[in-house]
Amino acid sequence: MEELVVDVLVIGWGKGGKTLAGALGRNGRTVALVERSREMVGGSCINIACVPTKDLVESAAHRRDDDDPQAWFADAVAGRDNLVEKLRARNHAMLSEVEAVTLVGGRARFTAPHQVEVTAGDDRMLVRAASIVVNTGTVPAWPDIPGAVPSARVHDSTTIQHVSPLPERLVIVGGGDVALEFADMFAQFGSRVTLVQRGARVLRHEDADVADAARELLEEHGVEFITGAAVTSIVDAPDRATVAVAVAVAVDGVAREFAADAVLLATGRRPATDDLGLDVAGIVRDERGYVVVDERLGTSVEGVYAVGDVNGGPQFTYVSLDDHRIVTDRIMGAGRRTIVDRVAVPRTTFLTPPLARVGLNVTQARAQGRAVLVGSKRIADIAAMPRPKIVGETHGLISVVVDPGTDLVLGATVFSIDAHEVINLIALAMRAGVSATALRDGIWTHPSSTEALNEVLASLIPASAAA
């Protein structure tokens, strides 16, 4: 069996792992990066998640009523695939060009705390390293529902991106960010979308007015919502997939059945640690299966780290990027960086328009017993923000939560065109301690979406009055 000894072994080609491998390799460390699938070179973000799905969202948003849905969708998928291939090739080149980095194709499994066996068909390689980084990410979690098995009509968030043909009728199970992104996307491609979820409302982590505004947007785009419902079975017949839904008494108290050409199960994700041999190495996982890490991303085994989604932290590629900074500092630097250093990390759900948030919303502030000020306005009512009217997209709202004692922003929700950019400015202001007054009185370009802050922050009132 071939053996390879390196300073650092990275298992998985995600954002944190690939950036870490490149940084260490360029700074004198020998590195091996193991990836089991050619389709995942570069990581989830460029292959199946952030980039390809947002490329499809963008394509869907530009389809006009007289554009043929099937042809438009087929062209969109082809464009998505072309983009992914280019990004995948570039990601491979970025590491293959680093002499100290060895790229290994195959499945890695721990055989000792600092040793893995990599298998690729009949080939075997033993890799030993003083430092090992687990970067295997997550995979879709399939619910325990009779008939919920992969097929040509029953999909997860990865396989639905290549559904063929475009489903005339699509049932989506779930009510979170991923479910809503795909519901909005496929509705705009031309599918008749029915979204089924157990809870009483979608986006339960958002304020009620925000969740309601998101639902109103999707309903306007043609999405039907069935809430307070539990899926009892999926029957994948030769000519259709039938989703049987038991609707809660709060709705109408009777079971209903929906005929569908395709079903998307958007019911969360689980850590990709199957057959990784973590128990053999003594690496501890939590009750959900995620690798347990400390504030500096160290596992229960000295010298073994976990970065990205597999460590159970926020599942965003930019958090994985920050994970690499922490581990790089631990291996090459003073080891002072920690996950506690993260302040005001924003997030975006890519509806059309996007829904972005950072920090506390009103519901969370109240739950903490905080006395706060809130500035909130619907986009259509913000006179100082003409850009949405110029581009013809006036859905959504902006809400900002402010501490009345310090005049600092505690959080914000931006549901509007350019939300994914505006939220970054607010997040930076929160990290830098910029006051709400400074944002309110800021001089912004015109017409822009940022200038909405002039008007929204001029409307601050106590949260109790805003209820």
- Which helix (H) or strand (E) is 51 found in, with range? helix 50-61
Instruction: Tell me the per-residue pLDDT of 83-141, one tens digit each, with 9 for 90 and over.
Output: 999 999 999 999 999 999 999 999 999 999 999 999 999 999 999 999 999 999 999 99
- Percent helix, strand and coil across the chain, each to the nearest 5: 35, 30, 40
Asked whether residue 10 is assigned to any structural domain, the reply reads: yes
Do 53 and 78 sit in the same domain of this protein? yes
Classify residue 145: in a domain, yes or no.
Answer: no
Residue at which a domain ends, from 341, 373, 400: 341
- Give mean pLDDT, residues 16-35: 97
227 close to 201: Cβ distance less than 8 angstroms: yes
CA distance 388 to 68: 27
Q: Assess whether 281 and 229 both reside in one domain.
A: no
Same domain as 363, residue 337: no
Q: In the listed set 242, 267, 292, which residue is the last one of a domain according to the structure?
A: 267
Neighbouring residues of 190: CB distance < 8 A, sequence distance ≥ 6? 63, 69, 70, 72, 73, 166
The predicted pLDDT at position 247 comes to 40
Which residue has tokens 């609707």?
Answer: 247
Active site residues: 446
Rounded distance between C-alpha atoms, residue 402 and residue 419, angstroms: 19
Question: What average pLDDT does the segment 174-194 reach?
Answer: 97
Q: Is the pLDDT of residue 238 over 90?
A: no
**pLDDT over threshold 80, residue 464:** no
**Amino acid, single-letter form, for residue 54:** K
CA-nearest of 48, 130, 66, 56 to 351 is: 56
Does 322 lie in the same domain as 361?
no
| Residue 189 located in a structural domain | yes
Residues 6+ apart with CB under 8 A from 128: 3, 4, 5, 6, 9, 114, 115
Residue found by looking up tokens 């975006």 in the block = 348
The secondary structure of 263-309 as a DSSP string is EEE---EEE--TTS-HHHHT--B-TTSPBP--TT-B-SSTTEEE-GG
Q: How many domains would you assign to the chain?
A: 3
Please report whether residue 418 resides in a domain: yes
Together in a domain, 293 and 393: no
- Which amino acid, one-letter code, is at 248? A
- Domain closes at, from 240, 267, 294: 267
Per-residue confidence (pLDDT) for residue 357, from 0 to 100: 98
| Cis status of the peptide bond prior to 386, with omega within 30 of 0 | no
- Residue 414 bridge partners (DSSP): 356, 398
The yes-or-no verdict on residue 246 having pLDDT over 60 is no
CA distances 313 to 30, 191, 200, 345, Å, are: 28, 34, 27, 12
Structure tokens at 439: 């944002």
DSSP-derived letter for residue 391 is H
State the Cα–Cα distance between residues 347 and 356, nearest whole angstrom.
6
Residue 147 lies in a domain: no
Q: Please tell me the predicted confidence (pLDDT) of residue 446.
A: 97
> Do 185 and 263 lie in a common domain?
yes
Same domain, yes or no, for 360 and 337?
no
Please report, for the domain that includes residue 184, its CATH number: 3.50.50.60
Q: What tens digit of pLDDT does each residue of 129-179 get?
A: 999 999 999 999 999 998 899 999 999 999 999 999 999 999 999 999 999
**pLDDT per position as a tens digit, 51-73:** 999 999 999 999 999 999 999 99
What's residue 310's pLDDT? 98
**CA nearest to 307, candidates 27, 4, 8:** 8
Residues 312 and 204 in one domain: no
**CATH number of the structural domain spanning residue 456:** 3.30.390.30
Is 383 found in the same domain as 282?
A: no
**Helix runs in 347-441, H state only:** 362-367, 387-391, 419-432, 436-440
Residue type, 376: S
Given this model, what pLDDT does residue 71 score? 98
Does the pLDDT of residue 199 top 90, yes or no?
A: no
User: Hey, which residues does 79 pair with through a beta bridge?
Assistant: none
Question: For the chain, first and last CA: distance in Å?
Answer: 67
Residue 458 belongs to domain spanning: 347-466
Say yes or no: 132 and 18 in one domain: yes
**Structural domain includes residue 146:** no
Residue 58 lies in a domain: yes
* 71 lies in the same domain as 85: yes
Same-domain check for residues 425 and 456: yes
Instruction: Answer yes or no: is pLDDT of 248 > 50.
Output: no
Asked whether the predicted pLDDT for residue 250 surpasses 50, the reply is no
The pLDDT tens digits of the residues spanning 360-394 come to 999 999 999 999 999 999 999 999 999 999 999 99
Domain annotation covers residue 55? yes
Q: How far apart are CA 137 and CA 327, in angstroms?
A: 16
Residue 55 in contact with residue 79, Cβ under 8 Å?
yes
Residue 279's Cβ-count burial label (10 Å; 0-12, 13-18, 19+) is exposed
